[in-house]
């Protein structure tokens, strides 16, 4: 009886110790995620994403995530060129806002995680007012000089460029592309709706350009590795958050579809004033 009793007592102690280790491990793993500091890496350096020094939608995104984090996480912003961002992706797990999976198709891995949509946007055709021709589909660009942004892919258009049916000239920014359009060095350009509508307002170009939609897409937050995937539930809260919807509207952007708009006043329901100095 004495040996049996001692054996049961030892077994009970071992079970208790095992349970304590499990609890301790759980607390250790959750505490590792609590109160972390995270950086949002973005290559979008034009309105509405950046509107001045440490201002713009990307900075407001970081503030919103910090303020609403239930785990005490803090988010900061780092703006860098797309090429540098691609290099970082190959070295470590990073958080990248305002992107969509097709843009990183060749650079992502099975460990890449995506948030729910945080903003709806469109790529749009833009051309100078007064032109006889209108652009509403990729086929309308055949025979035209197209202005694009270096590194950007355009659905339905890229195959026509490859077949030499469209002549494409690349620029480094949306502002440079607008300047090329106004100087008639290209016939038509394709660029993101949110960026061009902000530039039209801030640079006094209302009435000088016509716009039609190329295609809709949603912007999300990408986490390139598994070490930060615990943030996804927190990031997913943006999609249905009324405060975030209000933040977007202040920049003339949105997270729900808008009605069809006229090519002469396409941006009237968008475009908020910003203070960005362009070069």
Res. 260 pLDDT band, cuts 50 70 90: low
| Alpha carbon distance 154, 128 (integer Å) | 20
Q: Which residue's structure tokens are 């349970």?
A: 19
Whether 270 has a pLDDT exceeding 80, the answer reads no
Mean pLDDT for the chain? 84
Q: What is the mean pLDDT of residues 80-86?
A: 93
* pLDDT tens digits, one per residue of 140-157: 999 999 999 988 889 999
pLDDT at 8 (0 to 100): 55
Q: Average the pLDDT over 124-153 and give the result.
A: 93
pLDDT band at 23 (very low <50, low <70, confident <90, very high): very low
Task: Choose between 186 and 153: higher pLDDT.
Answer: 186
Q: Whose CA is closest to 145, among 175, 174, 185, 179? A: 185
Nearest-10 Cα torsion for 3, 9, 12, 14? -80
Query: Residue 9: what pLDDT?
Result: 54
pLDDT higher than 80, residue 263: no
Give the pLDDT score at 267.
Answer: 79
Q: Which helix (H) or strand (E) holds 87?
A: helix 82-89
Query: Domain segments of the chain: what residues?
Result: 1-33, 34-120+218-250, 121-217+259-269
pLDDT computed for residue 63 by the predictor: 98
Q: pLDDT value at position 230?
A: 94
The gap between the terminal CA atoms of the chain, to the nearest Å, is 89
- Higher pLDDT: 68 or 261? It is 68
Structure confidence at residue 272 (pLDDT): 39
- How does DSSP classify residue 99? E
Pick 275 or 96 by higher pLDDT: 96
| Model confidence pLDDT, tens digit, residues 157-179 | 999 999 999 999 999 889 999 99
Topology of 34-120+218-250 in CATH?
D-Maltodextrin-Binding Protein; domain 2 (3.40.190)
Range name among 75-84, 129-138, 197-206 with the lowest pLDDT average: 197-206
Across the range 101-107, mean pLDDT stands at 83
- More confident site: 256 or 240: 240
Measured CA to CA, the distance from residue 75 to residue 197 in angstroms comes to 28
Q: What are the strands, taking DSSP E only, across 9-105?
A: 37-42, 74-79, 95-99
Same fold, 34-120+218-250 and 121-217+259-269: yes
Prediction pTM value: 0.75
Structure tokens at 115: 């948030």
Q: Which residue has the higher pLDDT, 102 or 60?
A: 60
User: Tens digits of per-residue pLDDT, 30-69?
Assistant: 444 556 999 999 999 888 899 899 999 999 999 999 999 9
Contact between 193 and 270 under an 8 Å Cβ cutoff? The reply is: yes
**pLDDT tier at 261, thresholds 50, 70, 90:** low
CATH class of the 121-217+259-269 domain in this structure = alpha beta
Residue among 231, 239, 253, 4 at smallest CA distance from 122: 253
């Amino acid at each position: 009886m004495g040996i049996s009793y001692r054996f049961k007592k030892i077994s009970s102690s071992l079970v208790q110790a095992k349970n304590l280790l499990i609890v301790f491990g759980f607390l250790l793993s959750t505490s590792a995620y609590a109160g972390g500091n995270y950086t949002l890496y973005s290559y979008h350096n034009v309105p509405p994403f950046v509107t001045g020094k440490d201002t713009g939608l990307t900075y407001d995104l970081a503030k919103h995530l910090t303020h609403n984090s239930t785990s005490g996480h803090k988010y900061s912003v780092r703006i860098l060129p797309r090429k540098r961002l691609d290099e970082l992706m190959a070295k470590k797990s990073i958080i990248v806002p305002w992107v969509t999976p097709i843009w990183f198709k060749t650079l992502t891995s099975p460990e890449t995680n995506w948030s729910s949509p945080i903003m709806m946007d469109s790529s749009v055709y833009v051309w100078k007012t007064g032109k006889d021709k209108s652009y509403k589909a990729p086929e309308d660009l055949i025979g035209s000089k197209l202005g694009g942004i270096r590194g950007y892919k355009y659905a339905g258009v890229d195959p026509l460029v490859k077949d030499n049916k469209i002549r494409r000239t690349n620029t480094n920014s949306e502002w440079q592309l607008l300047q090329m359009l106004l100087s008639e060095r290209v016939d038509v350009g394709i660029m993101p709706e949110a960026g061009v509508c902000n530039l039209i307002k801030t640079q006094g170009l209302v009435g000088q350009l016509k716009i039609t939609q190329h295609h809709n897409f949603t912007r999300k937050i990408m986490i390139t590795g598994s070490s930060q995937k615990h943030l996804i539930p927190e990031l997913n809260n943006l999609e249905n958050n009324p405060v975030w919807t209000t933040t977007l509207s202040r920049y003339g952007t949105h997270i729900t579809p808008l009605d069809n708009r006229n090519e002469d006043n396409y941006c009237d329901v968008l475009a908020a004033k910003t203070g960005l100095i362009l070069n």
